[in-house]
Amino acid sequence: MTRALVLVEMRGGAVTAGSLGAVAVAASASDDVHVLVVAGEGEVVDGDTVALLGGQGASEVHVARSAPAVARVRTDLLDLLVTRLEPSIVIVESSSMASDVAAALAARRFAGVNWDLVGLELDATGAWVGTRLAVQDTLVARVGWTTPLAVAVLRPGAFAPRESTETAARESALELPDVDLSIVPMVTTVADEQMPSGIETAEIIVSGGRGVATREGFEVLEELAATLGGALAVSMPVVDKGWYSHSFQVGQTGRTVRPRLYIACGISGAIQHRVGMARSGTIVVVNSDPRAPLFGVCDFGVVGDLSVVVPRLTALLRERR
């Protein structure tokens, strides 16, 4: 039985691209994909949302509205659907909320969890098989489940939405579970909220690394990104310096991106960075060291000082426009 159940998350009132990717990968293996959408107060899930999910291959969309943003409510709803639908797999894209929910559901259901998956399919026997990168992303490991219910946590950004089809999905409303929120342990407190970088969905990314020696040095990269209508991203040392939040980081412990154009400035090309951007369309590298490993994977390379090359590139682009 290959029925799949996918938890779809909403952010800023819209279904996240990662959730659409999760539905798409489920539908690439199974033609019986159920989706749970949990909308918060004021978030609208209408016919367009259902059609969007149908276009990614969902056959039925279960909607719970005005739900409080706690993992317990999502876990109860998924648990209910697991009883009703008896799926062989529950799929979520990793986020702090979804990972909490996946762990809680797995504990309740004695289900095995495989996390950080970058691939998911059915093998010839009809068993789910995931792909994980191991040993600092240098090895590809195939992983399976021995429990009747499989829980799969996908690496953020690893699955892109597919080209939408006209397939219609059924919608069914779900009652919210009767959870006494006063007894739900609220072990998480929000200390700070930062705007997400948006790099997972950006078509064009200008990325800066340790070679951008100062915080001010990023101004020329931000200008180039703005000129191209793209987003700014960074390598890990830049996040370590505290110049940008972790949501801007590309790589093994950051985001996986696949823009049409990735311009890497002052980034050497360590494997932990490359795994996060190697599937970009066109890769351009600006680096003062001709031996920088990232030149080995680029389509176009400029050997030079980024503080000179980047402003000239921006000026040229503006001129052409």
Give the binding site for ligand FAD (CB under 6 A). Answer: 136, 209-211, 235-237, 249-254, 266-268, 270, 272-273, 276, 286-289, 292, 305-307
CB nearer to ligand FAD: pick between 54 and 276: 276
CA angle 122, 126, 128 (to 5 degrees): 40
CB nearer to ligand FAD: pick between 201 and 307: 307
Query: Are 37 and 114 spatial neighbours (Cβ–Cβ below 8 Å)?
Result: no
Least Cβ distance, residue 156 to ligand FAD (angstroms)? 12
CB nearer to ligand FAD: pick between 21 and 209: 209
Q: How far from 45 is each of 67, 219, 253, 262, 294, CA to CA, in Å?
A: 12, 39, 32, 33, 43
Least Cβ distance, residue 286 to ligand FAD (angstroms)? 6
Q: What does 116-135 look like in DSSP terms, one character per residue? A: EEEEEEE-TTS-EEEEEEET
- Other CB atoms within 10 Å distance of the CB of residue 301: 18
Query: Are 212 and 219 spatial neighbours (Cβ–Cβ below 8 Å)?
Result: no
CB nearer to ligand FAD: pick between 59 and 94: 94
Least Cβ distance, residue 305 to ligand FAD (angstroms)? 4
Least Cβ distance, residue 17 to ligand FAD (angstroms)? 19
Q: How far is CA 39 from the centre of its chain?
A: 19
Least Cβ distance, residue 28 to ligand FAD (angstroms)? 27
Handedness of CA 223, 228, 232, 233 (dihedral sign): negative
Least Cβ distance, residue 232 to ligand FAD (angstroms)? 14
Using DSSP bridges, classify how beta strands 60-64 and 33-38 pair: parallel, antiparallel or unpaired: parallel
Residue 97: which residues within 8 A CB-CB, separation 6 or more? 9, 69, 71, 74
CB nearer to ligand FAD: pick between 98 and 234: 234
Nearest Cα neighbor of 252 from 167, 161, 153, 132 is 132
Least Cβ distance, residue 103 to ligand FAD (angstroms)? 22
CB nearer to ligand FAD: pick between 180 and 216: 216
Q: Which two tokens stand for residue 260?
A: 């049409």
CB nearer to ligand FAD: pick between 170 and 312: 312
- Other CB atoms within 10 Å distance of the CB of residue 228: 18
Q: Which two tokens stand for residue 269?
A: 């090309």
